[in-house]
């Protein structure tokens, strides 16, 4: 029996993935002010269909969810049609694609919302960094604590976004519960100081995510749903003392719901809250029998090891995929990688630095 490696096939979403490479969700800001996926976005994803699985860039579930310039949405018919064109091209290129559902919560700004404050679990602002708004770079604001009605409306928005994703032909959806965005703001005890049924205990802090999962399960089979978490992450002022208990209980819940994919930002490349020892893939493998995706700072060697030892089923690559659309072939043939350290075209613009990176030409 041959050893499992990144080039092994694996079942997912009633399909067989051609390899275990995942295109990580990478926010690139190419959808324009109407937030409608377009031709160059289709080019970008089709080129990177070398991955067995593509996870789209984070996509806003509603206008209220917005907080990034020119990022795409999935809340109106034009956006659904735009995404369908992308999905069709990825499927034609023999890959599988899931849509990442995003609400930024307090990581947004009133400049995106006609002067209305962004929403969060509690009225606590993000410390330190600034945000790029349509009117320039500004400090984060103290958000408005969500009412019960706000929460119910947002859960309904997640369900509608999932329905739209299904209409666009996506194979599945990923709930973005990582990196300090809205769901993470409910999970983390530093950003959630509520005294109602959505705050305090771990069970209460998990409630918002559980309601979203339940709503989306009315649209997609549990096996076609993923959840992304960042247990070690400090981005957007995250990190609580009971993170180990929190993310272990979250994983046990996903297992009980038979959720198909757990996407773990286990690497420390984007910072670590240092509240204890980092959580590793092994912490989750013992609790979760579905597919686990490892992510954050993986090299070909560390990714190969994680899959070979069954710590992960797949590995997501982000920055290397920006400039190397044929990344699996580059690694397999030991072809040189196009450097991916020039950030000047990462966020916003047109085709340059986005969909104009060629595959490797072995004849030259």
Q: Indicate which residues carry an active-site annotation.
A: 181
Give the Cα separation of 37 and 57 in Å (integer): 11
Give the Cα separation of 246 and 83 in Å (integer): 34
Q: Taking the C-alpha atoms of 312, 46, 320 and 54 in order, what is their torsion angle to the nearest 10 degrees?
A: -20
Q: What are phi and psi of 347, to 5 degrees?
A: -120, 110
Q: Is residue 85 within 8 Å of 44, Cβ to Cβ?
A: no
> 3-class secondary structure for 160-214?
HHHHHHHHCCCCEEEEECCCCCHHHHHHCCCCCCCCCCCCCCHHHHHHHHHHHHH
Give the Cα separation of 150 and 227 in Å (integer): 22
Q: Count Cβ atoms below 10 Å from residue 170 Cβ, excluding itself.
A: 27
Both tokens assigned to 152: 């119910």
């Amino acid at each position: 029996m041959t050893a499992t490696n990144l080039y092994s096939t694996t079942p997912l979403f009633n399909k067989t993935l051609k390899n275990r490479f995942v295109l990580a969700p990478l926010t690139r800001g190419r959808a324009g002010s109407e937030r409608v996926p377009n031709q160059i976005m289709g080019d970008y994803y089709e080129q990177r269909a070398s991955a067995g699985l593509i996870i789209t860039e984070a996509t806003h579930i509603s206008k209220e969810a917005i907080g990034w310039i020119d990022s795409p949405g999935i809340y109106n018919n034009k956006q659904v049609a735009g995404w369908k064109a992308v999905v069709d091209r990825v499927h034609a290129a023999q890959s599988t694609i899931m849509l990442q559902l995003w609400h930024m919560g307090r990581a947004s700004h009133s400049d995106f919302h006609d002067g209305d404050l962004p929403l969060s679990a509690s009225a606590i602002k993000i410390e330190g960094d600034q945000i790029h708004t349509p009117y320039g770079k500004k400090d984060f604001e103290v958000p408005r604590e969500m009412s019960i009605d706000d929460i119910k409306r947002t859960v309904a928005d997640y369900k509608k976004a999932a329905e739209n994703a299904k209409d666009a032909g996506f194979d599945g959806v990923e709930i973005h519960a990582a990196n300090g965005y809205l769901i993470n703001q409910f999970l983390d005890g530093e950003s959630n100081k509520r005294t109602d049924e959505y705050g305090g205990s771990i069970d209460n802090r998990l409630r918002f995510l559980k309601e979203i999962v339940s709503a989306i399960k009315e649209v997609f089979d549990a096996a076609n749903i993923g959840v992304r978490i960042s247990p070690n992450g400090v981005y957007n002022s995250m990190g609580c003392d009971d993170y180990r208990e929190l993310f272990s209980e979250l994983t046990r819940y996903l297992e009980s719901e038979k959720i198909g994919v757990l996407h773990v930002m286990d690497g420390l490349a984007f910072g670590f809250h240092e509240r204890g020892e980092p959580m590793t893939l092994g912490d989750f493998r013992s609790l979760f029998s579905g597919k686990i995706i490892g992510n954050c700072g993986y090299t070909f060697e560390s990714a190969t090891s994680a899959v070979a030892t069954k710590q992960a089923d797949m590995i997501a690559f982000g920055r290397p995929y920006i400039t190397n659309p044929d990344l699996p072939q580059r690694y397999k043939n030991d072809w040189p990688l196009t450097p991916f350290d020039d950030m000047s075209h990462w966020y916003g613009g047109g085709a340059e630095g986005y969909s104009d990176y060629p595959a490797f030409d072995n004849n030259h």
